Amino acid sequence: MKAPSRYPISVSLLHWLLAIALIGNLVIGWLLDDREGLLALHKSIGIAILALALIRLTNRLRVRDQLPPSVNKTGTAAYFIEGMVHRLLYVLMLAAPLLGWLKTNAAGHAASFFGLFSLPALLSKNRELSHWLGDLHAMAAYGLAALVGLHLLGALAHRLLKGQNIVPRILPLPRRPLPKARRLAD
């Protein structure tokens, strides 16, 4: 049986939804010092990221037999780095919003999702703990931003250094047949 060359649509859609939410919330997070009014939006998107990351992880485990193999050769440094970046992305996609939720609780506030509902309080008010959790949340967010950058650089390196356009593997678009002239040449 031939290995799949593209990711299942559920993996693709969750990848891009999380990418948009993560990048948007990282930008909003950096703007918080100047625009305190964005805090409720930042928290709501953080809750969405936590939920989407849990769904994505569950889905990835569910469809693991349908995932295409790595384009990097097993045992190489590139293969190892790819695996570590993906694992750390999952860890930080879960850790950053969870730390934000805990920080919010320790500050004495509820983590509200667009005013529709609030997550349960996991901690009681503790100003010192809130500051410490805020620092951890910021470190996780910066780490996440760095990993997103590495992820993008990896795709760019495949394109520029190896001539491999790997992006279509994760696009949630139907596969288009090759033009007739290219099919004949292959």
Q: Give me the pLDDT at residue 163, please.
A: 84
Domain membership flag for residue 126? yes
Instruction: Report residue 175's pLDDT band, with 50, 70 and 90 as the boundaries.
Output: low
Q: Give me the pLDDT at residue 36, please.
A: 77
Tell whether the model's pLDDT for residue 5 goes beyond 70: yes
Domain membership flag for residue 85? yes
DSSP 3-state of 79: helix
Place of tokens 């939804």: 17
Residue 117: its H or E element:
strand 117-118
- Residue 146 CA to residue 144 CA, distance in Å, equals 5
**Measured between alpha carbons, how far apart are the two ends of the chain, in Å?**
21
Copy the structure tokens of residue 144: 């996440």
Domain membership flag for residue 186? no
Domain membership flag for residue 106? yes
The domain total for the chain is 1
Instruction: Report residue 186's pLDDT band, with 50, 70 and 90 as the boundaries.
Output: very low
Q: Give me the pLDDT at residue 184, please.
A: 47
Choose the weakest-confidence range: 30-39, 84-93, 124-133. Answer: 30-39
Tell whether the model's pLDDT for residue 185 goes beyond 60: no
Domain membership flag for residue 180? no
Domain membership flag for residue 185? no
Cβ atoms of residues 22 and 148 within 8 Å: yes
Domain span including residue 148? 9-174
pTM of the model: 0.87
Name the percent of the chain lying above pLDDT 70. 92
Q: Give me the pLDDT at residue 179, please.
A: 60
Q: Give me the pLDDT at residue 182, please.
A: 52
Domain membership flag for residue 1? no
Domain membership flag for residue 74? yes
The residue-averaged pLDDT of 148-160 equals 91
